Structure 1
């Protein structure tokens, strides 16, 4: 029997330092997130970062926490509940970090008699620290607990027509009554070395002005190319003129060179360029979370206005949008019907 495991990033159990610390430990000790040798990673994470970061992160989570819990988990569950009746096969929901974990999701499917699982990472764009770590963790759990299960996975859907239509329609709906000067596409950032590591050609990704626009097998796994492609397709679908939109990368950490331009830097410059009414969309995420609700809707909003901006619109993620849920259900059924 076939079944599907939807997987999103995850969240701490509560917005307290006590619960944030083990969550950050699991997240940052992932070799696909901080991709350095184990002993160095342990020193950085457990010797340095976890000394102060849990309190700071807990304060940020507390700003966005809902009565029902973590927005990311709540919204993922809402989406799951809408997709479930549309799918012709059993489904389960897991988080890569925290709960419900991947083991519990696979066990739920196994208990229903599922032997063939479609792993569905809820990330439009391929990256080591999102897609790859989900697939690797699921395989690790499968080998240990469900050796007779078979896996397949959904490829990155950054350019799928249905996804682009859902994203474009959502953006258009929220811009309908907002007279914006500029639309900013803000994607989650990555260290540049992650882009080079996922380059299957080992030579194409130079992260210059041309490689993302030059056809290459590397694009199948290139996060940067896929982000630019999503922007290009949405801009075309909405007919946004050149000069009225731009693309940036957010959430960088100190130390390494991360993908540029940086969201916070660019947002702060916009008012002096005459941009007084800004709209921001975050297509790297399908569910609103700390990075969209606190980093963009609160912090970027505040900084924009501090630098002379007047109006700021944070466009919600697709979340449990009806048409998006139908799209996910259709993709699942297309897979389930294949022999």
Structure 2
């Protein structure tokens, strides 16, 4: 047995499309203090009195639209990634979800039972955000400290600007950019604006300095918006997309407080009025297709765009199991092994 293991961690999914399973999943997800980061009693009051009584049924209906015979698209794709990566590298490849199953504690128990001493943790998020990347790292380190303190964990840093990642993203998207289109929209998962300020340890850059996302600063290492902007800039340069033919938006907002703008649903309604009738949409915040890409963008987003006067809507799949993405993961794993 190998003393080394790679641990892939994605967001997670309900066990089924039943309202009960979706409610259980949402309760775990939205009880995370890095997702709904407010005073715990208030968080639980809002969750139990306003969100859980109604949202699980609506979310269950959305999941039913994208569910496959094998189960959740996110889980199925993540398991395929695990299998394909295992074929390329010697260390055991483990898979866990931050919420739901397979769980992080179960993965750590398996690795401990198999004598694993060194772990390469790969949060499956290209960009840093406290509600995605950070919560995965914190949860894994907490569980390792409690269950297997002798394990050494090395964490893959956000790879939003890694040239090999940009190349993999480009190769996976290239076939969808070959047909004529008027505009390319990069729709990233949104976060509350205050999360940017919270992640800026200096408290003197994000939303303080003019053009903060493009003005060099150490704060960029934990700035989600900057990292989304950088990924986009590098991609359009690699793909040769001219200025004025692309833009950035943010989706999946929750609640009434300000989130990163512009909002994707608003942009989809506005683009046809500006003569952008043939649209391509990419979702680079996600490496695996999920509810937010398949239902929110490829279904609801398409309907919104066409109803607003759009003529053609193309949703670019995530990298999923693309060979260039698998190779990127394999190369990162081998870099870790050779350190």
The answer, yes or no, to whether TM exceeds 0.5 is yes
**Contact 2:14 2:100 (8 Å CA) reproduced:** yes
Q: CA deviation at 1:154?
A: 0.4
Deviates most, 133-142 or 94-103: 133-142
Which residue pairs with 1:213 in the alignment? 214
Q: CA–CA distance in 2 between the matches of 1:302 and 1:38?
A: 38
The aligned runs of 1:36-185 (5 Å cut-off) are 36-176=38-178, 178-185=179-186
Q: CA–CA distance in 2 between the matches of 1:255 and 1:263?
A: 16
**Contact 1:186 1:283 (8 Å CA) reproduced:** yes
Which residue pairs with 1:28 in the alignment? 30
Which residue pairs with 1:249 in the alignment? 250
**Contact 2:172 2:324 (8 Å CA) reproduced:** no
The aligned runs of 1:240-319 (5 Å cut-off) are 240-319=241-320
Gaps of 5+ in 1: none
1:298-323 per-residue CA deviation (whole Å, 9 max, x = no partner) reads 00100000011011000000001111
Q: CA deviation at 1:209?
A: 5.5
Write out the 4+ residue segments of structure 1 that deviate beyond 4 Å after TM superposition.
Answer: none
1:112-133 per-residue CA deviation (whole Å, 9 max, x = no partner) reads 2111211110000000001111
1:153-182 per-residue CA deviation (whole Å, 9 max, x = no partner) reads 000000001100010122212222x21100
Q: CA deviation at 1:208?
A: 7.0
Deviates most, 311-320 or 203-212: 203-212
Q: Secondary structure at the match of 1:42?
A: helix
Normalised by the length of structure 2, the TM-score is: 0.98
1:20-71 per-residue CA deviation (whole Å, 9 max, x = no partner) reads 0010000000000000011011001112100001100000000110010000
Q: CA–CA distance in 1 between the matches of 2:20 and 2:208?
A: 39
Which residue pairs with 2:200 in the alignment? 199
Q: CA–CA distance in 2 between the matches of 1:152 and 1:216?
A: 25
**RMSD after superposition:** 1.0
Gaps of 5+ in 2: none
